[in-house]
Amino acid sequence: MRKTLLIAALAATALPLPVMAQRAAPPTAPAVDASVAALRDAALKDDVAYDIIEGLTTEVGPRPAGTEAEARARDWAVNKLTALGFKNVHIETTSMSVWQRGEETAEVVSPFPQKLRLAALGGSGATSAKGLTAEIVYFPTFADLQRAPEGSLTGKIAFVSNAMVATQDGSSYGAFGSARFVGPGIAAQKGAAAIIVRSIGSDHGRGPHTGQTNFPKGVAPIPAAALSTSDADNLSRMMARGKPVTLRLLLTPRQTGMHDTGNVIADVPGTDPSAGIVLVGGHLDSWDLGTGALDDAAGVAITAAAAKRLLDGPAPRRTVRVVWFGDEETGGTGALAYFDAHKDERHVIAAESDFGADRVWRVEFNLPESAKPVGDRVASALAPLGIVRGTALGGDGADIAPLIRSGVAGIDLNQSGLRYFDYHHTPEDTLERIDPEQLRQNVAAWTAMLAITANAPEDIGPVKPR
């Protein structure tokens, strides 16, 4: 049998390749400008980004939107960006409604008494000061909750246990995140007294993942919290025993009224004002459980460090604007405020970093036909960094969404999401999660992108508004 297979295999090598295996050669990639390559390669030794993350997480720490800590972060940012040499550094404030975390505990009362670890979701309602004790209604998936009959949850605590898995592109966050994004509102409409969800994360630990939830207009917020993934799995096993499970839940968050949030803006001035603005950045605010190193000190650091490399060289043709947005996490107040204040300025490209600090693996574009060569040159410059060109439209990011919707072109530098959701919105989002070498690869990628787009001779006009 082995001899027969070997002869057949050797014979097969003499045959022409099947039609399906024959592929046309890809288009010839444009050469990379030597000055761009030099900037890119020098950025692989960058220390500015790590210094920003270390300083922001150490000297400010958690930065919930609309709080005194976020105000300190804005002042810190102005001092740092000014010291780095950026021009026109300033703060633009606006106001927002602020939710504040309170006490949060949970324990199974029966039939298997034990404490659970959880965190209230942003926008959650509160139990009474004495807490809430009620029977759990179990939903293995978000779709199961959606199918629950109206009124079937009256007086009960809903529990949704859908388990997110890690994916390189982060797509599973959107697929499983609905349990957090809108699940509490649906549970409230079906009569639930409260809801707990398995944290939207890919880890298997006891640190819960917080995050914002949204209740429909006219629906009173109910207590809503995320269990750590480990505790949620344990609770699922309890439910599988077939006995009624009773939970005691205490959540005491509150709304504290209107407070300031704001954007920090800094420029690398261009030589041709008519050529427009290339806007890059991330968000300054963070959740309160960790110190917001990955989400999103890394994003503001990466984009500022890349822009700094242009600042230290010949002035680019276009102005490169760095924006550290306020209130991305709880509603996007900063993004809307920036758009309202600057919508009459000519922005030609917007790009955001808000997915941690692991290596960039893909670049995607949404450019007008006249600027297609710009994307080709960017893709060529990024290839030596191990970055492939994707086929989807670029322009993702909550902070740049208003600009993108208006027709501004977008570029995405997609980072690997394989470990990001292990730490996202958890107590573990700290400086120790930052890999310096992967961080430098990010800076190099953003530097190359900025060097090309900010100096491109092509007109970068608007694209079809989304």
pLDDT at 394 over 50: yes
Q: Is residue 51 part of a domain?
A: yes
Q: Which domain holds residue 248?
A: 103-252
- Judgement on whether residues 321 and 430 belong to the same structural domain of the protein: yes
Strands 254-268 vs 87-100: parallel, antiparallel or unpaired: antiparallel
- Judgement on whether residues 122 and 239 belong to the same structural domain of the protein: yes
- Judgement on whether residues 217 and 280 belong to the same structural domain of the protein: no
- Domain stops at, among 226, 252, 278: 252
pLDDT at 17 over 70: no
- Average pLDDT over every residue of 47-60: 98
Q: Is residue 52 part of a domain?
A: yes
Q: How high is the pLDDT of residue 21?
A: 52
The whole-chain average pLDDT of the chain stands at 95
Tell me the pLDDT tens digit for each residue of 296-338.
999 999 999 999 999 999 999 999 999 999 999 999 999 999 9
Q: How high is the pLDDT of residue 437?
A: 98
Q: Is residue 22 part of a domain?
A: no
- What is the pLDDT confidence band of residue 13, given thresholds at 50, 70 and 90? very low
Tell me the pLDDT tens digit for each residue of 338-365.
999 999 999 999 999 999 999 999 999 9
- Judgement on whether residues 414 and 368 belong to the same structural domain of the protein: yes
- Judgement on whether residues 269 and 401 belong to the same structural domain of the protein: yes
Q: Residue with structure tokens 């990639």?
A: 29
- Judgement on whether residues 272 and 384 belong to the same structural domain of the protein: yes
Q: Is residue 29 part of a domain?
A: no
pLDDT at 185 over 60: yes
- Average pLDDT over every residue of 379-401: 97
- What is the pLDDT confidence band of residue 26, given thresholds at 50, 70 and 90? confident
- Domain stops at, among 197, 230, 252: 252
- What is the pLDDT confidence band of residue 15, given thresholds at 50, 70 and 90? very low
pLDDT at 8 over 50: no
* CA-angle at 59, arms to 437 and 207, nearest 5°: 70
Q: Is the torsion defined by CA of 334, 339, 342, 347 positive or negative? A: positive
- Judgement on whether residues 115 and 205 belong to the same structural domain of the protein: yes
- Judgement on whether residues 300 and 414 belong to the same structural domain of the protein: yes
Q: How high is the pLDDT of residue 72?
A: 98
Please say whether the beta carbons of 306 and 280 come within 8 A: yes
- Average pLDDT over every residue of 148-176: 96
Count how many domains the chain has.
2
DSSP secondary structure letters along 388-401 = EEEEEEP---TTTH
Instruction: Say what the pTM is.
Output: 0.94
Residue 54: Cβ-neighbour burial (10 angstroms; 0-12, 13-18, 19+): middle
Please tell me what DSSP assigns to residue 150: T
Please say whether the beta carbons of 455 and 349 come within 8 A: no
Q: How far apart are CA 272 and CA 265, in angstroms?
A: 19
CATH code for the domain in which residue 193 is found: 3.50.30.30
Please say whether the beta carbons of 96 and 259 come within 8 A: yes
- Judgement on whether residues 142 and 58 belong to the same structural domain of the protein: no
- Judgement on whether residues 370 and 278 belong to the same structural domain of the protein: yes
